[in-house]
């Protein structure tokens, strides 16, 4: 549960849409998403490392800072596993390419809603506040998925 996990799912959703607009295969989406998530993870770790070192004014340890940044950013990688597995089902022809891509987008949206619910559940027991957070979080994925639908019209 982290901001990186939410960001990772939004990134995955966007990359599925972009890759589908270019070629339209689950294989292309899988490769595009996997490479992009790894690059963004590395960028987050790098940025977190140098930001932490900058606050230490020459007294920080590079490896400790890098490990702490990697630990904070791991949610980005973890969040991409389920959508990547769904895309892999399309690549292996267990399900058709379009179904894999649409299912990955739908699952991303649901996962965003679940993360929004769980994050706020730690803060308040209010059903309506939790539901509002789930809907706002899911809306990020839904908006990107709607953009996909508009692009293909």
Q: Is residue 5 within 8 Å of residue 122, measured between CB atoms?
A: no
Q: Is residue 27 within 8 Å of residue 145, measured between CB atoms?
A: no
pLDDT tens readout for residues 25-55: 899 999 999 999 999 999 999 999 998 888 7
Residue found under tokens 């890759």: 19
Q: Is residue 137 within 8 Å of residue 115, measured between CB atoms?
A: yes
Q: How far apart are CA 108 and CA 127, in angstroms?
A: 22
pLDDT tens readout for residues 109-132: 999 999 999 989 988 999 999 999
Record the tokens describing residue 128, joined without a space: 């309506």
- Phi–psi pair at 24, nearest 5 degrees: 90, 20
Summary mean pLDDT of the chain: 88
pLDDT tens readout for residues 48-76: 999 888 876 667 788 888 999 999 999 99
Domain residue ranges in the chain: 3-151
Record the tokens describing residue 8, joined without a space: 């990772």
């Amino acid at each position: 549960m982290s901001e990186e996990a939410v960001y990772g799912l939004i990134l995955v959703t966007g990359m599925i849409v972009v890759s589908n607009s270019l070629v339209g295969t689950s294989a292309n989406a899988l490769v595009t998403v996997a490479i992009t998530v790894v690059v963004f993870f590395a960028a987050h770790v790098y940025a977190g490392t140098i930001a932490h070192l900058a606050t230490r004014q020459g007294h920080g340890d590079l490896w400790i800072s890098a490990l702490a940044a990697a630990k904070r950013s791991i949610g980005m990688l973890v969040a991409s596993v389920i959508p990547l597995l769904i895309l892999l089902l399309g690549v292996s022809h267990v399900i058709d390419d379009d179904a894999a891509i649409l299912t990955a987008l739908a699952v991303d949206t649901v996962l965003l809603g679940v993360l929004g619910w769980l994050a706020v559940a730690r803060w308040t027991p209010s059903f309506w506040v939790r539901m509002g957070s789930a809907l706002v979080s899911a809306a990020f994925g839904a908006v990107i998925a709607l953009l996909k639908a508009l692009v293909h019209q």
